C-alpha cells in the first residue's frame, strides 16, 4: 500500500524537521511532507530549568499543529524504515511514502535498559531524569525534599543530546541547597565518562571552579551501569581501570545512553562503522555519503558536533541550501562548521554560554559580551530569550 509521493519528505517533526520544513516553504518549495506521529511539540532545552525549579513544565509544550508550517503535508504516522534504492519511507500502518529528496531527522533514542535496574525506579525513591517530560517535575520535587544525604548525577558515554545537561542540574540543585543552608549536609557526586569537565579548555576551567565551589566530587572516565533500588546503590564502572564500585544515594539524576532509533540502525542509511547507527552524512554538507538524495541533521545525524538545538539552528540553512542545489543539479554550495552552543547553568541565576565548533575552540557569537565567563544576563537569556527565539523565529524558518 503506497501513499502519494512527495518531492521532499522530512522524517521527524521535532526541532530539526519543523525548522527545515519552514525554510523550504520560505524558499518556495510547494511539495513538502513531514512524517511525525506526535501531537505535541516540546522545547526540551527548558527541561533542565524545570528540574531545577526555574521554569514550569507547561511552558515547554505546544500542540504540533501550531508549529507545523502552512502548506506542508503532515503525515501523522511513524516512520519504521527507509529503502534508499526505491526512494521510499515505510510507515507503521503498512503504507509507504515515495520521495525525490529525503531529510532524516527522527531524533535520538534514550536507551534506559542499558543501565540495569534503572527503568523500574525512574520517578520514585529519589531517582529521576530531566530527559523525559513526565520526570523533570519529579527531579525538582526530589531536590526540594532532600535536606541531607548523598546526591548523584550521572552522564553516559557516547554522544547524547545536550551533553551539558547532566552537569547543569547538579549545579542548579547545589545552588538551591546552598540557598536553603543545607549544602554542607549533602554529599554531591558527579559521574562523567570524559577525562575532563568539558572538551573546550576555557569552559572546562570555569566548570572545575564551579564544582569546587559546591564541594562536588567528580568521578572522571566513569559511568553508571546498574541501579539497585532496594539498597539505594548505583554501580559505577571505571572505564580506565576496568573496575566497578558502588555508591549509595538518596537522590539521583540519571541520563541514559543514547543512540539512533532502532529502526534507523536497520536501514542502509546508518553509519556501518558506528554501532549507535546514526545516519551517515558528510559533516560539512549534511548530505548522505552514499545516497545523494538523502540529507540528515539534528540528533540522528552522524556529524561529530554536540547534539543541541543551537546546532540544528546552524545546520538547517546549510542543509536547505545544499538540498536545493541537489534539486537543481548543482554541487553543494554551503558548509556547516560544527557550531554548537551549550548554555550551562552554573547556579539558579547565572549561566556560562559555551559556543564552539569542530575545531573545539570557543566561537562566541554575541558581540561585546564575554561569554567565556559566568554571567547573570545569560541566565535570563536562557530562560526567556532562547525559548522566544525558538518558538517565534527558528521554527518559522526566520533564525
- Catalytic positions are 162, 342
Ordered alpha helix ranges (H), 27-101: 47-51, 64-67
CA-to-CA distance for 314 and 101, rounded, in angstroms?
20
The three three-digit cell numbers of residue 132, written as one number? 523525559
CA–CA separation, 144 and 121 (whole Å): 19
In 3D space, the residue among 198, 395, 224, 232 whose CA is nearest the CA of residue 316 turns out to be 395
> HSE (CB half, 13 Å, CA atoms) of 168?
33
Closest CA to 48 of 151, 167, 156, 150: 167
Pairing relationship of beta strands 73-75 and 32-35 according to DSSP bridges: parallel
What does the block give as the cell for 175?
A: 545552588
* CB-count exposure of residue 7 (10 Å: 0-12, 13-18, 19+): middle
Cα–Cα nearest to 319, from 21, 1, 61, 92? 21
Cα 166 to its chain centre, rounded Å, is 11
Is residue 128 within 8 A of residue 51, CB to CB? The reply is yes
- C-alpha distances in Å from residue 227, one per residue of 165, 230, 242: 20, 9, 18
**HEC readout, 279-336:** ECECCCCCEECCCCCEEECHHHECCCCCECHHHHHHHHHHHHHHHHHHHCCCCCCCCC
Closest residue by Cα to residue 324 from 89, 14, 32: 32
Q: How far apart (Å, rounded) are the C-alpha atoms in residues 43 and 47?
A: 8
- For 189, phi then psi, to 5°, come to -125, 135
Closest by CA position to 155, among listed 93, 225, 78, 230: 225
Residue 77 CB partners (closer than 8 Å, separation 6+): 35, 37, 91, 92, 93, 95
Q: Which three cell numbers stand for residue 130?
A: 530531566
Amino acid at each position: 500500500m503506497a501513499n502519494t509521493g512527495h518531492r521532499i519528505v522530512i522524517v521527524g517533526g521535532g526541532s530539526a524537521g519543523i525548522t527545515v520544513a519552514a525554510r523550504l516553504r520560505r524558499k518556495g518549495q510547494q511539495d513538502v511532507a513531514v512524517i511525525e506521529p506526535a501531537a505535541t511539540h516540546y522545547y526540551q532545552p527548558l527541561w533542565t530549568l524545570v528540574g531545577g525549579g526555574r521554569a514550569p513544565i507547561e511552558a515547554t509544550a505546544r500542540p504540533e499543529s501550531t508549529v507545523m508550517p502552512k502548506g506542508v503535508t503532515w503525515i501523522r504516522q511513524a516512520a519504521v524504515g527507509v529503502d534508499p534504492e526505491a526512494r521510499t519511507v515505510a510507515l507503521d500502518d503498512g503504507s509507504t511514502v515515495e520521495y525525490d529528496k529525503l531529510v532524516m531527522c527522527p531524533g535520538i533514542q534514550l536507551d534506559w535498559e542499558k543501565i540495569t535496574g534503572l527503568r523500574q525506579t525512574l520517578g520514585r525513591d529519589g531517582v529521576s531524569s530531566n530527559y523525559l517530560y513526565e520526570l523533570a517535575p519529579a527531579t525538582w520535587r526530589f531536590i526540594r525534599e532532600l535536606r541531607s544525604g548523598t546526591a548523584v548525577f550521572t552522564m553516559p558515554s557516547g554522544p547524547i543530546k545536550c551533553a551539558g545537561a547532566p552537569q547543569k542540574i547538579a549545579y542548579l540543585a547545589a545552588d538551591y541547597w546552598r540557598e536553603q543552608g543545607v549544602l554542607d549536609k549533602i554529599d554531591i557526586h558527579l559521574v562523567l565518562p570524559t577525562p575532563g569537565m568539558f572538551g573546550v579548555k576555557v569552559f572546562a576551567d570555569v566548570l572545575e571552579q564551579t564544582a569546587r565551589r559546591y564541594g562536588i566530587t567528580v568521578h572522571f572516565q566513569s559511568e553508571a551501569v546498574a541501579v539497585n533500588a532496594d539498597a539505594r546503590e548505583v554501580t559505577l564502572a571505571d572505564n580506565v581501570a576496568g573496575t566497578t564500585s558502588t555508591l549509595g544515594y538518596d537522590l539521583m539524576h540519571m541520563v541514559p545512553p543514547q543512540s539512533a532509533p532502532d529502526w534507523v540502525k536497520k536501514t542502509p542509511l546508518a553509519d556501518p562503522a558506528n554501532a549507535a547507527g546514526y545516519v551517515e552524512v558528510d559533516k560539512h554538507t549534511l548530505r548522505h555519503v552514499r545516497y545523494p538524495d538523502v540529507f540528515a541533521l539534528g540528533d540522528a545525524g552522524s556529524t561529530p558536533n554536540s547534539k543541541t538545538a543551537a546546532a540544528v539552528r546552524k545546520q538547517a540553512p546549510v542543509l536547505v541550501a545544499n538540498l536545493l542545489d541537489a534539486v537543481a543539479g548543482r554541487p553543494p554550495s554551503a558548509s556547516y562548521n560544527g557550531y554548537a552552543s551549550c548554555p550551562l547553568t552554573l547556579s539558579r541565576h547565572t549561566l556560562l554560554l559555551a559556543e564552539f565548533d569542530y575545531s573545539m575552540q570557543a566561537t562566541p557569537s554575541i558581540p561585546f559580551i564575554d561569554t567565556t565567563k559566568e554571567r547573570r544576563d545569560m541566565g535570563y537569556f536562557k530562560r526567556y530569550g532562547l525559548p522566544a527565539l525558538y518558538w517565534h523565529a527558528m521554527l518559522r524558518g526566520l533564525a
